[in-house]
Amino acid sequence: MVILVQEGLENIENYLIDRGYKVIHGGITTKPHDIYIYSSSSYTGLYNEIFNNDMYNSTITNNVLMINANNKSYSEIEDIINSRKYSNLFESEGFF
């Protein structure tokens, strides 16, 4: 399992490396990854991250679990990684 971590989230990146996960430092990448950890309080930020990382037209990033690190502890992020389960995309925004 390979985890891509957005630039600016070095604390999370270092935590995951210390815990034994294979982590790719954020920025623009075409390397295959299974999980993408980002921080955004708006869907515009998420949209920009997807397009900046060329994930929208890559065949190697199918089924990427995307984790918004906003308001999550390291252990919560690790639990999501290990269970590969996450809440509905719009649930936290009160849409449903």
> Is residue 96 scored above 80 in pLDDT?
no
Residue 92 lies in a domain: no
Residue 94 lies in a domain: no
How many structural domains is the chain composed of? 1
Residue 9 lies in a domain: yes
Of 59, 62, 65, the C-alpha closest to 86 is 65
- Confidence band (pLDDT; 50, 70, 90) for 95? very low
CA distance 96 to 93: 8
54: left (phi over 0), alpha (psi -120 to 50) or beta: left
CA distance 76 to 5: 15
pLDDT tens digits for range 2-31: 999 988 999 999 999 999 999 998 776 778
Residue 71 lies in a domain: yes
pLDDT tens digits for range 54-94: 554 454 556 788 899 999 999 999 999 998 865 555 555 54
Residue 12 lies in a domain: yes
Residues whose CB falls within 8 Å of the CB of residue 57, separated by 6 or more in sequence, listed in order: none
Domain with 14, as residue range(s), is: 2-83
